[in-house]
């Protein structure tokens, strides 16, 4: 069964199910009809035996032949009558077919049963329906009072022929029903599986061409339609992911090209000086080496940012960490990078679920941005209260039209392109905050500058199951 195609399996199962149902109905109809016909025949025998008992029993007893042999069959519809004694002997009327006496008939004659209805055979082998009822009679052929039973029988030929014709009719109807069900099942399978065929064709097309822009037409709200919608959503997500990956590669290549070009130029100058023997002035040589060092530092930072962005989501590695302590560590690093700046901090205890290293890098990135855009001798205000961490600088600020782009990868403000950086810092911040279930935003600060505010859900005290603070 598993080796068959789904369409064939559906057709076969439909045909089998209908065949079983039709067979069950046909058998039930046949048995019900048989029981009805037999019941009608029993009713006819009861009415006839009442007539025999009422007016004809004397003539039957006077003319019957004890155990008279009979080799003839009764014509259909003709009733045969015989008297059964309690000792098992019988008295067959003239012209009647002798029916073999059974134990049920003897029990009726002996007064042990009120009546007996059963099938029996005549001495000639014909199957008849027999009704036996008690009768007490003293006649000229009996010297003493004897318990008697009167048996009335009728051939089953007519019923058998009717049931035979009915069986063939039901068999023909069942065959037509099975053929119709097979055809209907095949049509239903083809119609119902057409969306699946489309899905299969689309998947094969995507596997062959890697074209993720193909979509499946979706109609209705059934399970097949839901499958089509899910597949379209999956291909759309894959196409978007591939586009983002290609964009990241292109942006990374563009960002790497600038420091690599500068490095190659500086190294070629140093190499040419060594090859020609023309020494570079000491001040110019120091400037070249400082430029090489700066470009290497920028390359290292860019590669580190790319590695951070390429890491999978933290997921199960998240654990409860003290955000206030992480913020304190990031503040120490920021003070080293901006020794001429005043950094004020108002940090209250707050515990969140996240990754300590990633959160520290995100906060350092926020502080680095504030240091980068703060004027000499400026002030940076840092505040952590109730899970909301704000970093406010007093620099030139960010134009309103540029705010929607600040968290995009490799995006840099036109006014900041001359400053060091890769354009990935705020992207890393947004990614880390989202992994920890928080939110982040940048807004113009009152009086000038920019305020970056992130919120991370947590609590002012560590939960009982949290590991102890180092």
151 and 17 both lie in a single domain: yes
In a domain, residue 78? The reply is yes
295 and 344 both lie in a single domain: no
**Environment class of residue 65 by beta-carbon count within 10 Å: exposed (0-12), middle (13-18) or buried (19+)?**
middle
Q: pLDDT truncated to tens, each residue of the chain (470 aa)?
A: 556 666 677 777 777 888 888 888 889 989 999 899 889 888 888 887 776 554 455 555 555 555 444 444 544 556 778 888 888 888 886 667 888 999 999 998 888 888 899 999 888 888 899 999 887 544 444 333 357 888 888 888 888 888 889 899 988 888 888 888 888 777 877 776 777 777 778 788 888 887 878 777 777 777 777 877 888 888 888 888 777 777 667 666 656 676 787 788 888 888 888 888 787 888 888 888 887 877 787 677 667 666 666 665 544 467 889 999 999 998 988 887 777 888 999 999 999 988 888 888 888 888 888 888 888 888 999 999 999 999 999 888 877 777 776 777 655 555 554 455 555 667 778 888 888 889 998 888 888 888 899 999 999 988 776 555 54
In a domain, residue 447? The reply is yes
253 and 390 both lie in a single domain: no
DSSP 359-417: HHHHHHHHHHHHHHHSPTT-EEEEEEETTEEEEE--SS---GGGGGGTTSTT---GGGT
User: Are the C-beta atoms of residues 67 and 92 closer than 8 Å to each other?
Assistant: yes
What's the confidence (pLDDT) of residue 61?
Answer: 58
CATH code for the domain of 397 = 3.30.565.10
29 and 143 both lie in a single domain: yes
Which of 310, 325, 341 is at the close of a domain?
A: 310
397 and 451 both lie in a single domain: yes
The pair of three-digit structure tokens given for residue 424, joined into one six-digit string: 């990935």
pTM: 0.44
34 and 76 both lie in a single domain: yes
In a domain, residue 197? The reply is no
130 and 73 both lie in a single domain: yes
Helix or strand or coil: residue 419? coil
148 and 25 both lie in a single domain: yes
User: Are the C-beta atoms of residues 384 and 366 closer than 8 Å to each other?
Assistant: no
Structure confidence by residue, pLDDT tens digits, 254-283: 566 767 877 888 888 888 888 887 878 888
Task: Tell me how many domains the chain contains.
Answer: 3
| Full domain range(s) for residue 446 | 315-459
In a domain, residue 255? The reply is yes
What's the confidence (pLDDT) of residue 385?
Answer: 92
What's the confidence (pLDDT) of residue 301?
Answer: 66
Q: What angle do CA 360, 374, 261 make, to 5 degrees?
A: 75
18 and 152 both lie in a single domain: yes
Q: Using the CB atoms, write b or e for 128-162: b if 16+ within 10 Å.
A: bbbbbbbbebeeeeeeeebbbbbbbbbbbbebeee
What's the confidence (pLDDT) of residue 142?
Answer: 39
Distance between CA atoms of 234 and 125, rounded to whole angstroms? 78
31 and 122 both lie in a single domain: yes
What's the confidence (pLDDT) of residue 373?
Answer: 81
In a domain, residue 200? The reply is no
CATH code for the domain of 84 = 3.30.450
In a domain, residue 105? The reply is yes
CATH code for the domain of 289 = 1.10.287.130
What's the confidence (pLDDT) of residue 380?
Answer: 92
Which of 310, 330, 352 is at the close of a domain?
A: 310
Q: What are phi and psi of 451, to 5 degrees?
A: -120, 120
154 and 268 both lie in a single domain: no
In a domain, residue 65? The reply is yes
What's the confidence (pLDDT) of residue 10?
Answer: 74
Which of 138, 163, 188 is at the close of a domain?
A: 163
331 and 385 both lie in a single domain: yes
In a domain, residue 74? The reply is yes
């Amino acid at each position: 069964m598993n080796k068959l195609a789904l369409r064939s399996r559906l057709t076969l199962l439909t045909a089998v199910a209908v065949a079983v149902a039709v067979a069950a109905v046909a058998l039930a109809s046949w048995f019900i009809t048989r029981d009805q016909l037999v019941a009608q025949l029993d009713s006819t025998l009861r009415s006839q035996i009442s007539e025999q008992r009422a007016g004809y029993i004397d003539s039957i007893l006077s003319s019957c032949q004890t155990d008279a042999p009979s080799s003839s069959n009764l014509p259909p519809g003709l009733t045969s009558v015989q008297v059964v004694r309690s000792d098992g002997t019988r008295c067959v009327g003239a012209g009647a077919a002798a029916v073999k006496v059974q134990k049920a008939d003897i029990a009726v004659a002996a007064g042990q049963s009120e009546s007996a209805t059963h099938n029996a055979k005549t001495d000639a082998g014909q199957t008849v329906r027999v009704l036996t009822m008690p009768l007490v009679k003293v006649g000229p052929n009996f010297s003493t009072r004897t318990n008697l039973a009167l048996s009335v029988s009728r051939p089953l030929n007519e019923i058998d022929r009717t049931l035979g014709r009915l069986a063939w009719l039901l068999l023909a109807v069942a065959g037509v029903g099975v053929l119709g069900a097979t055809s209907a099942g095949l049509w239903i399978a083809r119609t119902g599986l057409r969306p699946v065929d489309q899905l299969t064709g689309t998947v094969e097309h995507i596997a062959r061409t890697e074209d993720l822009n193909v979509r499946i037409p979706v109609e209705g709200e059934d399970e097949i339609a839901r499958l089509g919608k899910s597949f379209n959503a999956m291909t759309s997500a894959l196409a978007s992911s591939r586009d983002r990956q290609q964009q990241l590669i292109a942006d990374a290549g563009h960002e790497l090209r600038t420091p690599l070009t500068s490095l190659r130029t500086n190294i070629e100058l140093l190499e040419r000086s060594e090859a020609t023997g023309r020494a570079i002035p000491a001040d110019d040589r120091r400037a070249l080496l400082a430029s090489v060092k700066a470009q290497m530092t920028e390359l290292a930072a860019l590669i580190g940012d790319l590695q951070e962005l390429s890491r999978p989501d933290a997921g199960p590695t998240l654990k409860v960490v003290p955000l206030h302590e992480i913020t304190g560590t990031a503040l120490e690093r920021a003070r080293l990078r901006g020794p001429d700046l005043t950094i004020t901090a108002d940090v209250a205890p707050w515990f969140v679920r996240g990754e300590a290293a990633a959160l520290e890098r995100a906060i350092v990135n926020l502080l680095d941005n504030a240091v980068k855009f703060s004027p000499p001798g400026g002030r940076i205000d840092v505040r952590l209260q109730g899970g909301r961490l704000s970093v406010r600088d007093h620099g030139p600020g960010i134009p309103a039209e540029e705010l929607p782009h600040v968290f995009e990868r490799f995006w840099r403000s036109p006014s900041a392109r001359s400053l060091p950086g890769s354009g990935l810092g705020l992207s890393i911040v947004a990614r880390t905050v989202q992994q920890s279930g928080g939110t982040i935003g940048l807004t113009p600060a009152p009086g000038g500058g920019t305020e970056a505010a992130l919120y991370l859900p947590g609590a002012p005290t560590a939960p009982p199951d949290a590991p102890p603070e180092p």
